[in-house]
Structure formats: C-alpha cells, structure tokens
Copies of this chain bind each other. A is one copy, B any other.
Amino acid sequence: MRTTTLKLVTVIAESILEDRLVREMHHLGAKGYTIAQARGEGTRGMPTIDMGGQNVRIEMLVSDEVAERIMAHLAEHYFTDYAVIVYAVDAQVLRSEKYL
C-alpha cells in the first residue's frame, strides 16, 4: 500500500478565534480541517485565564510547505497576543493528492 508522509498540523486556540483561523489556514493552503472542542490549562508565562476557557483544536493534513507557512503565520500574527499552540507531526496518509 502506497502511503505518503504529510504534516499533521494541530492548532489549539480560544474558540472565539475559530472562524478567523479556519479562514486563514484555508488561505494558506489547507484543504480540510477537523475541529474538536478542548479545554486548555495554564502555561508558564501567561495567565491561566488565557487558556482556561473553551478552546478549539483544529487539525489539518498538509504539505511540508503549507505546514511551514501556517506555523510562520501563527508565530507572526498570534504568538504575541494569544495563547495559541501549534505543532506538526509526520503522518502517513493514503491518496495524499486530496490534501495538496
């Protein structure tokens, strides 16, 4: 079975940012998303309240290049003012063309 390695990018942020983030991720090249509710709990250096409310966890399968773009975008536009978490994991997928 022929699998391809893509990046699974996960973004965790306050629920209020969901629509804006999804729009931006789409613009940066993500073709689809899976969204789930989550709760965040305190991180050193930022008050618990920032992450203590309702959060969303947005997952996307994207190319290395789109993953880079998404991470750079979040770093530039969110890291200063929002408790946004983003990480990328190597994931093996079938019919990768669907995500590219």
Contact = CB atoms under 8 A, between A and B. Distances in A.
Contacts of A94: 71, 74-75, 79, 86
Nearest to A84: B94
Consensus secondary structure, chain A interface: strand
A7 to B, nearest CB: 8
Per assembly, the copies of the chain total 3
A91 B92 contact: no
A41 interface: yes
29 contacts: A1-B71, A3-B71, A3-B88, A22-B41, A31-B42, A31-B43, A32-B40, A32-B43, A33-B40, A33-B41, A34-B40, A34-B55, A34-B57, A34-B85, A36-B37, A36-B38, A36-B39, A43-B98, A61-B87, A71-B94, A75-B94, A75-B95, A79-B94, A86-B93, A87-B93, A88-B93, A89-B89, A89-B91, A89-B92
